[in-house]
Amino acid sequence: MAEHRVIVEGTYNPTTGATVPVTGGTSSTPSYVTITDGTNNVTVSASASVGNALAVSSGSVFSGTTLNAVTGNSTGTAVDSGSARSNWSFVAVGTSTLTGTLTLELSVDNVAWVSSTVTASLTAAGTVGGFSTGRAARYARVSLTAAAGSGSVTVKMMAAG
């Protein structure tokens, strides 16, 4: 059976670039640990509002922009995650008085698109979002319909899993 091990060989300070071997005992000062698969590193992303998370530089997390400063009804550009991802989310930032409905759409082949049933109402200048879990797709996009008012919206997406 395959097994995965995490081995800590030392600490790494990203500010100074110094690597320090791990020694016994405890320390009252925080230290950094590099987690790597030999090619890509994982880092801790600190956030006071949502807590800390591991940020992966490639493979399991992917992001892209589907709508970029659109001002009316628009079908978003496909975001290709490179392989099937089961979790998709989007964040939309609207300006001025633009309103409308944002719909997350998924595709396995970038030809046939289906609604994920995830929608969000854009209500003028503000930020809204949505997420879909457990629906595997390689491609995703967000479309804006029933647009009214003036301004624009930009929608960025992220996929994992």
79-101 pLDDT, tens digit each: 998 888 888 999 999 999 999 99
Predicted confidence at residue 160, as pLDDT, reads 82
In this prediction, residues 46-60 reach a mean pLDDT of 52
Residue 8 clears pLDDT 70, i.e. is over it: no
In the chain, the domains with their CATH numbers are: 10-56 (no CATH), 61-160 (2.60.120.260)
Looking at the chain, how many residues does it have?
A: 161
φ, ψ (nearest 5 deg) of residue 112: -95, 125
Contact between 149 and 72 under an 8 Å Cβ cutoff? The reply is no
The DSSP output letter for 108 is: S
Q: Which residue has the tokens 């016994």?
A: 24
**Furthest C-alpha separation in the chain:** 64
Over residues 127-142, the pLDDT tens digits come to 999 999 889 999 999 9
In this prediction, residues 100-110 reach a mean pLDDT of 96
pTM score, two decimals?
A: 0.64
